[in-house]
Amino acid sequence: MAIAVNISKKDFKKEKVIVPNLINLSLERAKKVMNNAGFKLGDVYYEESHRVINTVLRQKPEVGEKVNLDKTIDVTICRKSYLDWLPAIFHEQKFNGKNFLKDYLWIFQHLLSGVQEKLDNIHTYFHPYYAPSVFLPWLASWMAMVLDENWTEEKKRKLIKNAVEIYKWRGTLRGLKLYLKIITGVEPEIIEHHFPFKDFEIGVGSLVGMDSIIEEKVDLAHCFTVKVPLPVKKVDDYTIKKIHEIIRTEKPAHTKYFLIFAVSEEEKKEKVKEMVIGENEI
């Protein structure tokens, strides 16, 4: 017999959880560990040490303690005082080992910690996988790329990461396949010198809409077919338009193409109704 248990958010926060070990981790890494364990970062204190900058020196609650999930974790990290940038005369300490100016400057270091953190991690702003999501359009503009607002963040990051490769192979089968794979999430098949329909010839068994279409003569030497292994019913109209837009932009200007989607199992089961001129169709 199944029993439904309703656990409220308040009760969940009262659950006792073991505090993870943050000592010797970078502040950025410590935040991720806390987040994975369900904790939030509390107050951050600065202290001079020979350790690497931003390394966690102490934490409260301590490692191994069992506390509620709603409790924050305070950490003390290694930082160099602004005093190090001032002349030696300001480094003089009183008889008790204290330096008023040094303690006073810690206040400004806390106030400016956000700016300092951005400067310490400025290199991540230029990496497509680590840059903040709001920074992605600007990063893409460096490579003359315009990101679609409807794309997922993952898709945007992949496109920026492969931008150089796409430009390198632009106008080729390899470049077009790479671009479409990022946008659709599947590997497309591109057949060169191919068109799915033959020329319409009356009296030779051509079926309009099935194996023939009426249009100007197609030169197979400058034609290709793109097959996307997704049922068309599972692809929204916007994505289909975007695929067409990408193909037109990336293909050589003088070529023609035809886009085909996979046939679903339901469509395979449906009987194909042939058009016979003068009998069941007009």
Percent of the chain with pLDDT over 90: 33
- The answer to the question of residue 183 being in a domain is yes
- The answer to the question of residue 147 being in a domain is no
User: At 4, is the pLDDT very low, low, confident or very high (cuts 50, 70, 90)?
Assistant: very low
- The answer to the question of residue 198 being in a domain is yes
**Could you tell me if 188 and 111 lie in one domain?**
no
Per-residue pLDDT tens for 136-194? 999 999 888 888 888 899 999 999 999 999 999 998 999 999 999 999 989 999 999 88
87-118 CB burial, b ≥16 within 10 A, e <16: eeeeeeeeeeeebeebeebbeeeeeebeeeee
- Average pLDDT rounded to a whole number, residues 215-221: 74
How far apart are alpha carbons 165 and 158 in whole angstroms?
Answer: 11
Does the pLDDT value for residue 109 go beyond 60?
yes
**Could you tell me if 263 and 217 lie in one domain?**
yes
User: At 10, is the pLDDT very low, low, confident or very high (cuts 50, 70, 90)?
Assistant: low
pLDDT of residue 275: 47
- The answer to the question of residue 181 being in a domain is yes
132-165 CB burial, b ≥16 within 10 A, e <16: eeeebeebbeeeeeebeeebeeebbbbbbebbee
Which residue has tokens 């057949």?
191
Prediction pTM value: 0.57
- The answer to the question of residue 274 being in a domain is no
Angle subtended by helix axes 153-161 and 173-184, to nearest 10? 160
Number of separate domains in the chain: 2
Residue of 4 and 56 predicted with greater confidence: 56
Q: What tokens appear for 120 in the block?
A: 């310490």
**Could you tell me if 119 and 169 lie in one domain?**
no
Does the pLDDT value for residue 204 go beyond 80?
no
In terms of phi and psi (left: phi > 0; alpha: psi -120 to 50; beta: otherwise), the region of 171 is: left
Q: Which of 13, 33, 36 is nearest to 21 (CA)?
A: 33
How far apart are alpha carbons 130 and 22 in whole angstroms?
Answer: 22
Does the pLDDT value for residue 108 go beyond 70?
yes
Per-residue pLDDT tens for 28-78? 899 999 989 889 999 989 888 888 888 999 999 999 898 988 889 999 999
Sign, Cα dihedral of 36, 39, 45, 47: negative
Last residue of a domain, one of 109, 124, 139: 124
Last residue of a domain, one of 76, 96, 124: 124
**Could you tell me if 14 and 119 lie in one domain?**
yes
**Could you tell me if 111 and 50 lie in one domain?**
yes
* Contact between residue 235 and residue 261 where contact means Cβ atoms under 8 Å apart: yes
pLDDT of residue 102: 85
**Could you tell me if 262 and 177 lie in one domain?**
yes
Per-residue pLDDT tens for 253-280? 889 999 999 887 676 666 445 445 555 4
134 phi and psi, to 5 degrees? Answer: -70, -15
- The answer to the question of residue 3 being in a domain is no
Last residue of a domain, one of 76, 101, 124: 124
Give the residue numbers spanning the domain of 97. Answer: 10-124
The mean-pLDDT minimum among 3-7, 91-95, 111-115, 126-130 falls in 3-7
pLDDT of residue 3: 47
User: At 229, is the pLDDT very low, low, confident or very high (cuts 50, 70, 90)?
Assistant: very high
Does the pLDDT value for residue 210 go beyond 80?
no
- The answer to the question of residue 132 being in a domain is no
pLDDT of residue 281: 44
Residue 68's DSSP bridge partners are: 16
- The answer to the question of residue 80 being in a domain is yes
